Structure 1
Amino acid sequence: MQKFDVAILGAGPGGYSTALAVVSEGLSVALIEKEEVGGTCLNRGCVPAKAWISVAETIDHAKHMATLASKPFEYSVDFSKMLAKQKAIVGNFQKGLIASLTKKGVTIFKGAGTFASSNEIVVSGAGEPVSVKFKNAVIATGTSPARLFDLPESLVLDNTSIFNLESAPESMLIVGAGAIGCEFASLFSRLGTAVTLVELEPRILPMEDSEISKALEREFKKAKIKVLKGVGLSSLVQFENGVKAMFADGSALTAEKALVSVGRRFDTDKLGLDKASVAVNKKGAVVTDEMMRTSAPNIYATGDVAGKHMLAYTAYKEGEFVARVIAGKNVSLGEMLVPNAIFTIPEIGSVGITEENAPDGASTGTFLFRGLARSHATGEIAGFVKVIADGKTDKILGVHMIGARSTDLIHIGAVAMAQGMTAKGLGNLLFAHPTFAEGLLEAVRDVHGEALHK
């Protein structure tokens, strides 16, 4: 039996961020993980996905370069080399993370942890079970993709098993046109896969501003991605060497692979939460209060398992917050202003309210990326920026953009909103020329009809 001030179940973004913050407060920490340190995001999600998508972006750059080349050149992708790049990136970051945790005094336990009581977790690994006693505990076990179809994982993929592919399929059906589905549609279309994207809602990316959704769909059409909207999937069955999808309207299609990018499960039923008096809701998410505390007063939850924002970077914030609470600090998490980044081609960034949800009298400003000198220099002219401001106070309420560098540029809008800036105030600042950031400057100036180059 080993005793710690804090035991953390799960070493993904929510878990390891909590661990690092807890040790900085001078407390002892046990970090328990049944799979890989870094969790889904580092090993089977965000990081490997972006490594793949960077290859797709390079293909687009190569096509642009081909128009300037003195002679034709080949820009096809060796899938095995793409996999090697992904594994090297993930491996290096994982080694660095483990080294940092260990150096700072975090004790890592490899194995599946289950609560034996509100003060004990039993870790079952390769050897004998280990008892970990704690004063406080943090549940950070994340979520996993829901399995909606009883078919082999080699045929019906999710956003984690897709990284088991050894080659790009000739055709792929993607079910769900949210962020994950749209990102992989962008990727595989560049790898030569015939992609069909199916969405039950009337438009793709239904949570984004409607003009952003329309703009991305136009780009998908250029990339020869077939988009089916407002279509319900009735069944998905194995067919010859692939899958066959039947839709509610009676239509059908076949594909070599299917990617299902809808639904997450909390997997909290195997954690022994009842023995620790920790309550979950009907979906299985751990119920927490404004301090991220569960129904057990000494047990907290962070990240996806708490069912709130369900993003890696919000899990970081929650983890640091919980560590301060456990350390007895007088802190408040408050309402987080969460910027959203979608790594499609072109990229999408958003923060704040959409135009559809804006209050009466709100003002908007827009600017097309094709109006920027930098866009023409790089050949990335698709997209636009939209800024929404309060009609009375002029405070910026929302920023939405689609185009090159949008996942980085959106943070300018987030900082401006966090500081309560007005459209006039941001529009009076200097932005270097020629840059993509000028698109945001022109859009925010357009709120008052003052865009210089529109």
Structure 2
Amino acid sequence: MANWNAPSTTLPCKACGATLPPKARRNPTLAHSWRGGPKRKSLGSPVSLPPPPLFDLVILGSGPGGYRAAVLAAQRGLRVAVIEEGIWGGCCLNRGCVPKRAWHETARSVDLTDAAQRGIQGKLTVDFVVAWQHQRHIVERVRDSYLSFLDRLGVERIEGRGRIAAPGAVVVDDRRINATHILIATGSHPHLPQGWPSDNPRILTTNDLFDTLPPHRGHWALIGGGIVAVELAYILPLLGIGVTWLCRSTPLKHIPEVVRTPVLQALARRGIAPRIAPIPTPEIDNDAVRIGGECFDAVLVATGRTPNTSDLGLEHLDLEAHGPISVNERCQTAAPGVWAIGDCTPGPMTANRAMREALTVVDAITGAATPTKGWRNQIPTAIYSATEGAFFGPEDEALEDAGFEPAVGFVAFDVLPQALAQGQAHGFARLVADMDSGEVLAGQVVGEQAGELIQMLSTLPPGQALRFLAQSAVNHPSLSEIWSEVAIGMGKQWGLNPQLWGETAPD
């Protein structure tokens, strides 16, 4: 056996027999990395090695999921690039959540159902052109902030169509970009019913609604029964646009009934209700659009969205190139090093889901955490219409089918001074916990700030949720008091006091 501590300068390498310098003797496995290299025997033609990855993570798409993933990854020290073919910020920022929320706040400002009781006189009206410009100013301001933040974090922004050429490689025009990980966050586009034209200015999608100033005089037909349609059915009339709402079936049919019914009732109190019937293909001329013999100046189609998964090079990864991309619990595709999140994967098409899945992907890439079982059930969904509605988790029957014994807590807003001050006595909060463990399984809120209140449930510490709610210090008067009221009531009603106050507490 060779003595690696010997002073000889002619000690041979075990791998190739080359003479090693003194500094390499103590670590023969690194002997060939010393500057200048060893005097090796000829091994034939040189081996061509692939270039090292240029980025740790390359993201296709800059919507809420892609943007969130870029920020989280860059803040953890990863080298990140984002590729965007369209408008930076994706659908949510430019054509969805952000501009629609701006309009919703405008609509609420003129929808003062208790104005007379408050001594407010007169009638407010909205200038649609100014309201449209207002949401554009907000969108542009947020987009500028997004891009500035990405630049400060050192994220490279690449404009163009990104296509996956091979595992670990994306091509944009003539540029090849190597990466250890690729995240597909390409979002979705509006779906038009079969046979409906996509190039007629009188047939509008939600993209058209926010891309350019739409025709805002006359009477529109609104087609659809999902969350977006239910929101626009409330917003558009208050912005001065006449609307006839047409649906093929009951609106919000995929939303828990406990939320769906009060949201639709709030619309009905304002004279807004859908006409449920088959919807024929429109007949269009220069002056109007005819649907079933009724004439409209324009038709706004809000009938869902289709994943953006075509022409991405997915065939090079043996992935399905059409429709949603299948992923596992950690948002991994079947291709190593390739991940997918948001609208381009199966599941609810919400920014909330895309942003939460971005965290899951970055955690997995960096080895930070493993998602808990059922983590997607904790992602909230919100509706901003004549009243707000929000929820997370399965419905009661699904929980029972899964083997849980649900304990339900319910408190109406009319016990809260703040809700009465805001004219929101019709609201409520509902909480579902497991009888055995006290673990929070689901929650629903209807009323003012429901979208904010639901988040108090979706971030609760595992195993301590009811105790956290019951013992939280909150501002008074405020709507956030509702959850402590619900939790405390459940302790007495369902014998869950030990989960609230400790093992020695009486049931």
Q: TM-score range by the shorter chain?
A: 0.7 to 0.9
**SS of residue in 1 equivalent to 2:101:** helix
Q: Which one of 203, 215, 223 corresponds to residue 175 of structure 1?
A: 223
**Matched ranges for 1:280-429 at <5 A:** 280=320, 284-327=323-366, 329=367, 331-334=369-372, 335-336=374-375, 337-359=378-400, 362-416=406-460, 418-422=462-466, 426-427=469-470
Q: Deviations over 1:232-254 (max 9, x none)?
A: 323333266333334xxxxx644
TM-score normalised by length of structure 2: 0.77
Deviation at 1:89?
1.1
Counterpart of 2:188, as a letter, is T
What is the total number of aligned residue pairs between the two structures? 434
Q: Which aligned pairs between 1:229-308 and structure 2 lie closer than 5 A?
A: 229=276, 231-238=277-284, 241-246=287-292, 253-275=294-316, 277-280=317-320, 284-308=323-347
Q: Is the 8 A contact 1:189 1:225 kept in 2?
A: no
Show the counterpart of 1:249: none
Which is worse superposed, 373-382 or 137-146?
A: 373-382
Range moving further from structure 2, 78-87 or 430-439: 430-439
| TM-score normalized by the length of structure 1 | 0.85
Distance in structure 1 (CA, Å) of the matches to 2:490 and 2:365: 45
Whether the 8 Å CA contact 2:431–2:486 is kept in 1: the answer is: yes
- The 5-angstrom pairing of residues 2-401 of structure 1 reads 3-61=54-112, 64-65=114-115, 68-69=118-119, 72-124=121-173, 129-148=174-193, 149-163=196-210, 164-166=212-214, 168-201=216-249, 203-229=250-276, 231-238=277-284, 241-246=287-292, 253-275=294-316, 277-280=317-320, 284-327=323-366, 329=367, 331-334=369-372, 335-336=374-375, 337-359=378-400, 362-401=406-445
Q: Is the 8 A contact 1:364 1:446 kept in 2?
A: no
Q: Say which one has the larger Rg.
A: 2
Distance 1:279 1:181 in 2: 33
* C-alpha separation in 2, matches of 1:254 and 1:343: 29
User: Is 2:477 the counterpart of 1:434?
Assistant: yes
Partners of 1:385 and 1:401 within 8 A in 2:
yes
RMSD across aligned C-alpha pairs, in angstroms?
3.0
Residues 357-409 of structure 1: CA distance to partner in whole angstroms, max 9, x if unpaired?
45286343433334433233222333322233444545433221211111111
Larger RCO, structure (CA 8 Å, separation 6 or more): 1
Shift in Å, 1:160:
2.1
Q: Once the two structures are aligned, what percentage of the paired residues are identical?
A: 26
- State the 1:301 CA deviation: 1.7
Query: Structure 2, unaligned stretches of length 5 or more?
Result: 1-50, 494-507
Q: Deviations over 1:84-132 (max 9, x none)?
A: 22111111111111111112111111111122333432223xxxx3332
Cα displacement (A) at 1:418: 4.6
Cα distance between partner residues in 1 of 2:480 and 2:301: 35
List alignment gaps of at least 5 residues for structure 1: 247-251
2:220 partner SS: strand
1:283-313 Cα offsets, whole Å, 9 max, x none, are 5222223332323212222222122443223
Secondary structure of residue in 2 paired with 1:23: helix
Tell me: CA distance 1:319–1:366, structure 2 relative to 1, closer, same or farther (3 Å).
closer
CA contact (8 A) 2:259 2:390 kept: no
Structure 1 pair 200–385 and aligned structure 2 pair: CA distance change class (3 A): farther
3-state DSSP of counterpart to 1:15: helix
Matched letter for residue 181 of structure 2? N
Report deviation, 1:167.
5.5
SS in 1 for 2:65: helix
1:268·1:284 contact (CA, 8 Å) conserved in 2?
A: yes
